[in-house]
Amino acid sequence: MRVEQIYTGCLAQGAYYITSNGEAAIIDPLRETQPYMTRLEKDKVSLKYIFETHFHADFVSGHVDLSKKTSAPIVYGPNATCEFDCISAKDGDVFMVGGVTIKVLHTPGHTMESTTFLLKDEQGKDYAIFSGDTLFLGDVGRPDLAQKSADMTQDELAGLLYDSLMNKIMPLADEVIVYPAHGAGSACGKNMMKETVDTLGNQKKMNYALNQPNKEAFIKAVTEGLLPPPGYFGLNVAMNKKGYESFDAVLKNGMRALTPNEFEAAAENTEALLLDTRANTDFYKGFVPRSVNIGLQGDFAPWVGSMIVDVKQALLLITDEGKEEETITRLSRVGFDHVLGHLKGGFAAWEAAGKEIDTVHRISAEQFAKEVNIGVDKIIDIRKETEYAAEQVSEAHNRPLAYINEWSKELTTTDHFFLHCAGGYRSMIAASILQARGYRNFTEIEGGFDAIGKTGLPKTDFICQTKLMKG
């Protein structure tokens, strides 16, 4: 028996590959199937089952494509209704993969179909659980996402989650390994550890949710402080339930190379959004007007989902040369399949063709320290509330990037403001969005708060309630 965790940092997501005696199972696969097909061929094993712990909200799974290519059935837990062929297993059902068994433990609460898969080794001993979004390391799945489909409140779902954990997970032996679907950085939880594998025994000791004195305390603990889920979550759930276009077709369409003239015509004659995935350190110096910058080398896919939201939005890409396929792949993981093509030769080709370009007014943190008049000039800090609460520039206003559609309505196009995040990635996203909407009366700070903190500007380490925008 061999168990491999295939972890994708951008999504903070873990897929799992299990082999035994010439057969394999894959749990919660990513959208692109070729890496799995390559593994299967290399290991000379046949894929027997594709297991899904639940209908994922934060990414589009590769279950449909993988099943078509291998004929392996897709297995969900109870209450799963798919618009494609799948097995909705019963609680306690057992599936054989070579010499090992995988047992279905129905653990509703995060969603109604949420299921933990218990792996037993060749000797029949409990070896590991693939806990999906039921149990994370340091946390549990948020119980607010399935309220509408389950016709239940988040407190009722949290109560179900408590019962699932106490009755199905906690009785298992301490040495059982926990393989969760997500780690730190995922929006599916609020307190996840940076580690991606642990023992159940350690989680019993240190996971706050597993150490509440009763159900009422558990419900309060796990529902407290939940931020609104990203807008694209519901659309990803729908794709995972209904199916989707083949990734191979999505990639073929997106890899259509457009000359600067063709790109310009497509931008003018379609409703496509121009997405520039270059680093913020390159973007601000010059870019195609009205394009939005979300850098590939960061939490790219989640920010695309949070900022653009509508997975049906048509996209035209500007990338570093050679990064086109990676960009299309990572977009598809969160359901953005409508890529019309990319700018051949990247921004350099656009510039060489003599096309109009735009820039963002960016200054260094040192220059900011010289120019800013604390208490008079408006400073907008777009970091998360928790980051802002820990420490902030004195008199700065907190306006988290995730809520830009709300707080940008407060702005005028005349009153100047300074804009920063932690390091420059998120503030350039905000700057590009604001500029595309006609705001040019701001200055963005290179290096963000990390650089500002070295300048000697006065800082505070408490939340100024009158300036903290609640989402």
In angstroms, what CA-CA distances link 213 with 133, 203, 208? Answer: 22, 16, 10
pTM above 0.75, yes or no: yes
The answer to whether position 392 is within a domain reads: yes
> Is the predicted pLDDT of residue 463 greater than 70, yes or no?
no
Residues 106-155: pLDDT tens digits? 999 999 999 999 999 999 999 999 999 999 999 999 999 999 888 999 99
Distance between CA atoms of 366 and 92, rounded to whole angstroms? 62
Q: Which of 317, 332, 352 is the last residue of a domain?
A: 352
For residues 288 and 437, membership in a common domain is answered with no
In angstroms, what CA-CA distances link 221 with 209, 215, 224? Answer: 7, 10, 5
225: helix, coil or strand? coil
> Is the predicted pLDDT of residue 467 greater than 70, yes or no?
no
For residues 133 and 269, membership in a common domain is answered with no
> How far is Cα of residue 287 from the mean position of the Cα atoms in its chain?
26
316: helix, coil or strand? strand
What HEC string does 125-172 produce?
A: CEEEEEEECCECCCCECCCCCCHHHHCCCHHHHHHHHHHHHHHHHCCC
Domain range for 219:
2-234
**Residue showing tokens 């369409």:** 253
Using alpha carbons, select from 111, 28, 2 the residue that is nearest to residue 333.
28
Distance between CA atoms of 111 and 89, rounded to whole angstroms? 15
The answer to whether position 320 is within a domain reads: yes
Tokens, residue 17: 């590959």
Using alpha carbons, select from 88, 76, 72, 77 the residue that is nearest to residue 36.
72
For residues 192 and 304, membership in a common domain is answered with no
Q: Which of 286, 321, 352 is the last residue of a domain?
A: 352
For residues 41 and 180, membership in a common domain is answered with yes
Please state, for a pLDDT cut of 70, what percent of the chain lies above it.
98
The answer to whether position 169 is within a domain reads: yes
The per-residue pLDDT for 48 is 98
Bridge partners (DSSP) listed for residue 293: 276
Reported in sequence order, the residue ranges of 54-122 that DSSP labels E, i.e. its strands, are 74-76, 87-88, 94-97, 100-106, 115-120
257: helix, coil or strand? strand
Q: How confident is the model at residue 462 (pLDDT cuts 50, 70, 90)?
A: low
Furthest C-alpha separation in the chain: 72
Q: How confident is the model at residue 379 (pLDDT cuts 50, 70, 90)?
A: very high
Distance between CA atoms of 182 and 59, rounded to whole angstroms? 11
For residues 198 and 99, membership in a common domain is answered with yes
Residues 424, 447: contact at Cβ < 8 Å? yes
For residues 345 and 370, membership in a common domain is answered with no
The answer to whether position 288 is within a domain reads: yes
The answer to whether position 193 is within a domain reads: yes
Helices 154-164 & 215-223 angle (0-180, nearest 10): 120
Question: In terms of C-beta density within 10 A (0-12 exposed, 13-18 middle, 19 or more buried), how is residue 191 classed?
Answer: middle
Q: How confident is the model over 207-223, as a mean pLDDT? A: 97
Count each helix (H run) and each strand (E run) in the chain, helices first. Answer: 18, 24
Q: How confident is the model at residue 185 (pLDDT cuts 50, 70, 90)?
A: confident
Q: How many residues does the chain have?
A: 471
> Is the predicted pLDDT of residue 471 greater than 60, yes or no?
no
The per-residue pLDDT for 228 is 86
> Is the predicted pLDDT of residue 306 greater than 50, yes or no?
yes
Residues 288, 373: contact at Cβ < 8 Å? no
Instruction: Count up the domains in the chain and report the number.
Output: 3
Q: How confident is the model at residue 298 (pLDDT cuts 50, 70, 90)?
A: confident
Distance between CA atoms of 160 and 138, rounded to whole angstroms? 19
Distance between CA atoms of 364 and 372, rounded to whole angstroms? 12
Q: Which of 331, 352, 373 is the last residue of a domain?
A: 352
What CATH number is given to the structural domain containing 392?
3.40.250.10
Tokens, residue 198: 């642990």
Q: Which of 43-47, 188-192, 354-358 has the lowest mean pLDDT?
A: 188-192
For residues 228 and 279, membership in a common domain is answered with no
For residues 377 and 346, membership in a common domain is answered with no
Please state, for a pLDDT cut of 90, what percent of the chain lies above it.
92
For residues 337 and 367, membership in a common domain is answered with no
In angstroms, what CA-CA distances link 46 with 42, 43, 50, 102? Answer: 11, 9, 11, 16
* Residue 8, amino acid: T
For residues 342 and 369, membership in a common domain is answered with no
**Residue showing tokens 């240190």:** 206
For residues 8 and 100, membership in a common domain is answered with yes
The answer to whether position 240 is within a domain reads: no
What CATH number is given to the structural domain containing 25?
3.60.15.10
Residues 1-17: pLDDT tens digits? 999 999 998 899 999 99
Distance between CA atoms of 107 and 117, rounded to whole angstroms? 10
The per-residue pLDDT for 189 is 85
Q: What value does the mean pLDDT of the chain take? A: 95
The answer to whether position 203 is within a domain reads: yes
For residues 267 and 397, membership in a common domain is answered with no
- Residues whose CB falls within 8 Å of the CB of residue 228, separated by 6 or more in sequence, listed in order: 402, 471
The per-residue pLDDT for 440 is 96
The answer to whether position 466 is within a domain reads: no
Distance between CA atoms of 182 and 381, rounded to whole angstroms? 28
Element (H, E) at 350: helix 346-352
